[in-house]
C-alpha cells in the first residue's frame, strides 16, 4: 500500500491497517524531507502537548514493513518544495492500494480589491508556516513594524493561534520550538491592538473554549467588551459548549484595559469588502460591510449585508478563512473525481475514492478499486487531530474490509512498490529521505535547540535538512 502524505491522516491509516492486516507493507511518500504535516508545520509552538501524537507516529516509523520516502512528492503538487516527483500513473502500476492523505496545501482567498496588490496582507497559512519553519515560507519576513493595529479575518482556531502569536510575551515563546527568525521578528513587533473579525456573531464562531480562554489569560493583554446585543439573554439555558463560550466572552480577560500593554477584540457581523493602501503600496485599513444575522442565536444562521461600511485601521492583515485542498496532477487521467468547490476527493464517505461517471446517462460516480483517501483531503479542511484520527481509522476499516472480502484492488504491473519505483527516482539525482535520515535530522534539530533552551531548533530549508541527513 502507498500512502501519499505523512500527516496524522497518513500515519493513523498506516497504523490501523498494519495492526489489522499484519502482512501489509506500507510505503509512505512525503513531499518534504520531514514527516508529520501540520503537527510540525501547523500546530502552534506553544502547544507542545498537542504534538504528543508524534510518539505513536515514531512507533509506526520503526515498523519493519514500513518505509518512509521523504522529499518525494506524488503528481508534482509538492514540486515547489524542491524535492523529487513520481507521477501518479507510475505509482498506480506498482501498488495494490493507494491512500491519498495529502492534506490541504493551499488557502482560501477573499477575492476582494487590494488583497493581492497591497503589501502587508498575509494568509494565515503563510504566517503559521513561517513561525513554524516551513521551508516554503522561510523568507516571508512579515513586517510587524508598520503600525500598532492588526486585523485577522475569520474566527476559527487558526485565527486565535495567529492572535496569540502576535500578543504573547516573546519570552514565553522563546522556550518553544518557534524558529529563531520568527522570535527576532516578533521581538521587533509594534503590534498592540488585534481585531479578530467575523462575518457572523458570537453564537456562530468556529473557535473553541480552550483556545479563547488561553487568550483571556495572557499576561498584560486585555480584551475589549463584546457587543452584548449579540449574546443571548439567558446564557444559562444554552447547551454546554456555547454556554461556556458565551460566559467566557462576557467575562473577558484577567487583565483590565487600563493596565494592559496590548489588547484584542472579537469584532462581529463584519464582512470584508476591500483593503485600502497607502501611497507606498502598503496596507492602511480594511473596509467591512456590517451584516445582519437572519437568526441571532442560531449557530447556523446566515447573514445579509446592511450596506453600512466600517473601516478598521490595519498596519497588517491576515486572512484566516480556511485552508484548501487541490487535485493532484494525474487525477484526470486516473479518472479520479475531485470536488473543486468543497476541495475534497469525491469518496463514499468511508474513504473509497469515486471516479468519473460510468457513462453520460448516469449521475452515479463509479468506485475506483484500490484508491482511498483520508484526513483533510477526504473531509475538508476542518477537524482537530483526534477527529482526523477517527477519520483515518474509518478509511483503514474500509481497506481492511475490502481486503478480507476479496474486493478488487489496483491491477498494475506489479505489487513491488518502492522497489520498482526507486531506480527511476534516484536516477533523477533526487535525495530521498528515509526514516533513519529523518532520525538524524531530528537529532540534529534537538541538539541545535539545547543551547537555546528549546526542545528543537528546526531547519527551515530543504538544503539544511538534507545536509543534516548526510552528516
Ligand atoms: P496534513 O497534516 O496537512 O498532512 C498532509 C501531508 O501531506 C503534509 O506533510 C504534506 O507535506 C504532504 N503532502 C502534500 N502534498 C503531497 C504530495 N503531492 N506528495 C506527497 N506528500 C504530500 N489540531 C489539534 O488537534 N490541535 C491543534 O492545536 C491544532 N492546531 C492546528 C493549527 C493549524 C494552523 C492548522 C492548520 C491545523 C491545526 N490542527 C490542530 C488540525 C490538525 O493539524 C489537522 O487535523 C491534521 O493535521 C490534518 O491531517 P492530514 O494528515 O489530513 O493533513
Ligand atoms: P475554520 O474553523 O473553518 O474557521 C474559518 C473561519 O473563517 C470561520 O470563522 C468562517 O466564518 C470564516 N470565513 C470563511 N470564509 C470567510 C469569508 N469569505 N469571509 C469572512 N470570513 C470567512 O478554519 P480554521 O480556523 O482554518 O481551522 C481549521 C481546523 O483546524 C479547525 O477544525 C480547527 O478547530 C483546527 N484547529 C484546531 C486548533 C486547536 O485545537 N487548538 C488550532 C488551530 C486549528 P463562517 O463560519 O461565517 O464561514
Size of the chain in residues: 471
Tell me which ligand sits closest to the C-alpha of residue 5. 1
Ligand 2 atom nearest 124 alpha carbon: 26
Instruction: Return the ligand 1 atom nearest residue 37 CA.
Output: 9
pLDDT at 471: 87
Q: Is it the case that residue 81 has pLDDT exceeding 90? A: no
pLDDT above 70 covers a percentage of the chain that reads 96
Between 471 and 185, residue with greater pLDDT: 185
Considering only residues 156 and 412, tell me which one the structure prediction assigns the higher pLDDT. Answer: 156
Name the CATH superfamily housing domain 108-323.
FAD/NAD(P)-binding domain (3.50.50.60)
79 confidence band (pLDDT: 50, 70, 90): very low
CA distances from 215 to 13, 184, 212, 377 (A): 34, 22, 5, 30
Sheet holding 365-373, edge to edge: 66-70, 26-30, 2-4, 98-100, 365-373, 352-357
53 pLDDT more than 80: yes
Question: Is there a contact between 126 and 138 (Cβ–Cβ < 8 Å)?
Answer: no
Segment 395-424 shows an average pLDDT of 93
Report CA(39)–ligand 1 centroid distance (Å): 6
Give the Cα separation of 269 and 372 in Å (integer): 40
Say yes or no to pLDDT of 245 above 80. yes
Query: For residues 378 and 8, is the Cβ–Cβ distance under 8 A?
Result: no
Which of 92 and 471 is assigned the larger pLDDT? 92
Query: If you measure from the C-alpha of residue 155 to the centroid of ligand 2, how many angstroms do you get, rounded to a whole number?
Result: 6
In this prediction, residue 435 has a pLDDT band, given cuts at 50, 70 and 90, of: very high
pLDDT at 77: 46
Expressed in angstroms and rounded, the spacing between residue 319 Cα and the centre of ligand 2 is 10
Cβ 89 vs Cβ 334: under 8 Å: yes
Flag whether pLDDT at 286 surpasses 90.
yes
pLDDT of 360 reads: 61
What is the predicted pLDDT for the residue at 23? Answer: 95
Residue 410 dihedral angles phi and psi, to the nearest 5°: -65, 145
How sure is the predictor about 425, in pLDDT bands with cuts at 50, 70 and 90? Answer: confident
pLDDT tens digits along 318-361: 999 999 999 999 999 999 999 999 999 999 999 999 997 666 65
Identical fold for domains 2-105+325-433 and 108-323, yes or no, is no
User: By alpha-carbon position, which residue is closest to atom 18 of ligand 2?
Assistant: 110
Give the pLDDT confidence score for residue 178 in this predicted structure: 98
Q: How far is the CA of 462 from the centre of ligand 1 (A)?
A: 19
Mean pLDDT of 8-20: 98
**Gap between the Cα atoms of 369 and 391, Å rounded:** 20
**Distance from the alpha carbon of residue 37 to the mean position of ligand 1, in angstroms:** 5
Q: How confident is the model at residue 363 (pLDDT cuts 50, 70, 90)?
A: low
Question: What would the grid cell of residue 18 be?
Answer: 498494519
CA-proximal residue: ligand 2, atom 2 (nearest): 156
C-alpha cell at 388: 482526523
Q: How far is CA 189 from the centre of its chain?
A: 25
The pLDDT tens digits for 187-234 are 999 999 999 999 999 999 999 999 999 999 999 999 999 999 999 999
pLDDT at residue 166 above 90?
yes
* Coil vs helix vs strand at 401: helix
End-to-end CA distance of the chain: 31
Output 124 or 365, whichever has higher pLDDT: 124
Residue with CA nearest ligand 2 atom 36: 157
Tell me what percent of the residues of the chain surpass a pLDDT of 90: 92
Buried b / exposed e over 347-375, threshold 16 CB at 10 Å, is beebbbbbbeeeeeeeeebebbbbbbbbb
For ligand 2, atom 15, name the residue with the nearest CA. Answer: 321
Residues having CB closer than 6 A to ligand 2 are: 110, 153-159, 161, 198-200, 204, 206, 211, 271-272, 320-323, 381-384
Q: How many angstroms is it from 140 CA to the middle of ligand 1? A: 20
Average pLDDT, the chain: 95
47 CA closest ligand 1 atom index: 28
Provide the pLDDT for residue 343.
96
Q: Using CA positions, which residue lies closest to atom 26 of ligand 2?
A: 322
Give the residue whose CA is nearest to atom 11 of ligand 2: 154
Pocket test for ligand 2, best of 37, 41, 321, 325 (most atoms within 8 A of CB): 321
Q: How far apart are CA 190 and CA 97, in angstroms?
A: 52
* CATH number assigned to the domain with residue range 2-105+325-433, chosen from the 4 options 3.40.50.720, 3.30.70.1450, 1.10.3720.10, 2.50.20.10: 3.40.50.720
Please, what's the largest Cα pairwise distance for the chain?
Answer: 72
pLDDT digits (tens, 9 = 90+) for 99-158: 999 999 999 999 999 999 999 999 999 999 999 999 999 999 999 999 999 999 999 999
Contact between 284 and 278 under an 8 Å Cβ cutoff? The reply is: yes
Residues sharing a CB contact under 8 Å with residue 291, sequence separation 6 or more, in sequence order: 199, 200, 269, 270, 271, 303, 304, 305, 306
What one-character DSSP code corresponds to residue 384?
A: -
For residue 138, the CA-to-ligand 2 centroid distance in Å is 24
Ligand 2 center from residue 206 Cα (angstroms): 6
Q: Where are the domains of the chain?
A: 2-105+325-433, 108-323
Amino acid at each position: 500500500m502507498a500512502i501519499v502524505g505523512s500527516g496524522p491522516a497518513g500515519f493513523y491509516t498506516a497504523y490501523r491497517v498494519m495492526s489489522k492486516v499484519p502482512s501489509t507493507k506500507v510505503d509512505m511518500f512525503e513531499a518534504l524531507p520531514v514527516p508529520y504535516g501540520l503537527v510540525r508545520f501547523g500546530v502552534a509552538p506553544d502547544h507542545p502537548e498537542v504534538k504528543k501524537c508524534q510518539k505513536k507516529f515514531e512507533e509506526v516509523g520503526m515498523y519493519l514493513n514500513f518505509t518512509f520516502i521523504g522529499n518525494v512528492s506524488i503528481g508534482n503538487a509538492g514540486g515547489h518544495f524542491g524535492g523529487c516527483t513520481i507521477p501518479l500513473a507510475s505509482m498506480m502500476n506498482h501498488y495494490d492500494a493507494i491512500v491519498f492523505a495529502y492534506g490541504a496545501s493551499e488557502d482560501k482567498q477573499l477575492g476582494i480589491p487590494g488583497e493581492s496588490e497591497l503589501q502587508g496582507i498575509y494568509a494565515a497559512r503563510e504566517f503559521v508556516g513561517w513561525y513554524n519553519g516551513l521551508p516554503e515560507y522561510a523568507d516571508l519576513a512579515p513586517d510587524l513594524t508598520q503600525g500598532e493595529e492588526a486585523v485577522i479575518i475569520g474566527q476559527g482556531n487558526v485565527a486565535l493561534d495567529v492572535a496569540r502569536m502576535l500578543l504573547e510575551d516573546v519570552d514565553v515563546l522563546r522556550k518553544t520550538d518557534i524558529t529563531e527568525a520568527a522570535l527576532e521578528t516578533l521581538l521587533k513587533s509594534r503590534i498592540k491592538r488585534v481585531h479578530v473579525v467575523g462575518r457572523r456573531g458570537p453564537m456562530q464562531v468556529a473557535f473553541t473554549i480552550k483556545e479563547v480562554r488561553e487568550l483571556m489569560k495572557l499576561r498584560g493583554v486585555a480584551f475589549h467588551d463584546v457587543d452584548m446585543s449579540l449574546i443571548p439573554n439567558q446564557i444559562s439555558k444554552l447547551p454546554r459548549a456555547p454556554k461556556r463560550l458565551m460566559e467566557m466572552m462576557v467575562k473577558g480577560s484577567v487583565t483590565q484595559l487600563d493596565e494592559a500593554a496590548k489588547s484584542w477584540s472579537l469584532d462581529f457581523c463584519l464582512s470584508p469588502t476591500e483593503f485600502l493602501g497607502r501611497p507606498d503600496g502598503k496596507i492602511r485599513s480594511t473596509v467591512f460591510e456590517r451584516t445582519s444575522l437572519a437568526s441571532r442565536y442560531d449557530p447556523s444562521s446566515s447573514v445579509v449585508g446592511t450596506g453600512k461600511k466600517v473601516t478598521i485601521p490595519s498596519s497588517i492583515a491576515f486572512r484566516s478563512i480556511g485552508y484548501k485542498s487541490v487535485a493532484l496532477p494525474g487525477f484526470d487521467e486516473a479518472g479520479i473525481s475531485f470536488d473543486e468547490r468543497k476541495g475534497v476527493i469525491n469518496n463514499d464517505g468511508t474513504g473509497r475514492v469515486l471516479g468519473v461517471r460510468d457513462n453520460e446517462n448516469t449521475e452515479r460516480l463509479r468506485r475506483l478499486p484500490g484508491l482511498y483517501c483520508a484526513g483533510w483531503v477526504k473531509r475538508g479542511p476542518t477537524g482537530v487531530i483526534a477527529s482526523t484520527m477517527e477519520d483515518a481509522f474509518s478509511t483503514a476499516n474500509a481497506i481492511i474490509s475490502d481486503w478480507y472480502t476479496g474486493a478488487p484492488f489496483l491491477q498494475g504491473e506489479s505489487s513491488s512498490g518502492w522497489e520498482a519505483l526507486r531506480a527511476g527516482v534516484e536516477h533523477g539525482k533526487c535525495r530521498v529521505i528515509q526514516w533513519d535520515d529523518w532520525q538524524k535530522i531530528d537529532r540534529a534539530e534537538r541538539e541545535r535547540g539545547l543551547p537555546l533552551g528549546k526542545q528543537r531548533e528546526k531547519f527551515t530549508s530543504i538544503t539544511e535538512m538534507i545536509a543534516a541527513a548526510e552528516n
